[in-house]
Amino acid sequence: MKIKPISLQFSILIFGSAAFLFLLIERIVVPFLAMRGLDPAINFLILGSPHILFFIGALLAYKKEGNDCSWKSLCQRFRIFPIKGKFWFWVILFVIIDISLYLLVYKLGYPFVKWVHDLFPTPEIVLDIMGDRPMFVGRNLSGNWWLLGLFFFRYFFNVVGEEFLWRGYLFPRQELTHGKNTWIVHGLLWTGFHLFAPYNALMVLPGALFMSYIVQRYKNNTIFIISHAVMNGIPMVGIIQGIIN
C-alpha cells in the first residue's frame, strides 16, 4: 500500500468540483426535472446522487493504489478501526461537542445565518421534495415504511460515501503534504464543499475543524463516521414518527 501526497491545488479542485456538482443538481437539474413531472422520490435520490459517485470514486482510487480487495485492507487504508472500552466515552463526548458547535453557531449567529440563507435560499422545489412532516417526497408518511428505506438508501451513501472519500482516501494523502496542519486545511475544504448551501457551511465550520483535529489526533476515522451518522440521521427520527402516527 503506497500512499502518495496530494497537492493543495488538487485538493481544492476535488472539493470544489464536488460542491459545484451539488450546486448544479440542486439549482438546475432537479428544478428542471420537477417541472417536467418527475416523481419527487426519484428527484430525492438524484439530489444525493453525488454521494454514490464519492463512494465508487473512493473505492476505485483505493484499488488504483494497488491495495488488496479485502475488508481488512480497506479498513487499514481508510483508518476505520474499532472503538474499544473507555474510549467510547470520549467518542460520545466528541459527537456531542460536534453537534453542539453546529447548534451554537445557529443560535448565536442566527441573524447572520438567516441573512445568508435569504441571499441564497434553498430552491422551493427542494423544500417540497424534503417535505414538512407528515409529508415526505410528496407522500404522506403514515404507514409508508418504504419511505424509511428510501431515506436510508440516500443516508447510507451520504455518510459512507463522504467518509470513504474525504477522511478515508484523501485525509491520509493530505497529511503527507500538510503535516500537523492537515486538520485546518481539511476542515476548511470540507466546509467549502458545503458552500452550495452557504448558510449550512457557516454552521458546519466549527465542527468540521474540531472533528478534523480529532481524526488526525487519533488516526481513527470511525469517530467521524459516528458523528456524521448521528448528525445526518436526526431527520430519520421524524420520518419514523410520521410513519407510525
In angstroms, rounded to a whole number, what is the distance separating the alpha carbons of residues 241 and 134?
9
Span 82-133, pLDDT tens digits: 999 999 999 999 999 999 999 999 998 889 989 998 999 988 989 899 888 7
C-beta of residue 30 within 8 angstroms of C-beta of residue 129:
yes
Q: Is the pLDDT of residue 23 over 80?
A: yes
pLDDT at 54: 98
Q: Is the pLDDT of residue 167 over 90?
A: yes
Q: Write down the domain spans for the chain.
A: 8-244
Span 42-70, pLDDT tens digits: 999 999 999 999 999 999 999 999 999 99
The three-state secondary structure class of 142 is coil
Q: Phi/psi of residue 136, each to 5°?
A: -155, 130
Q: What is the mean pLDDT of the chain?
A: 95
Q: What is the pTM of this model?
A: 0.94
Q: Place 187 in a pLDDT band, splitting at 50, 70 and 90.
A: very high
pLDDT at 2: 82
> Strand (E) positions, 15-174?
135-136, 139-140
Q: Which three cell numbers stand for residue 155?
A: 443516508
Q: Is the pLDDT of residue 1 over 70?
A: no
Q: Is the pLDDT of residue 214 over 70?
A: yes
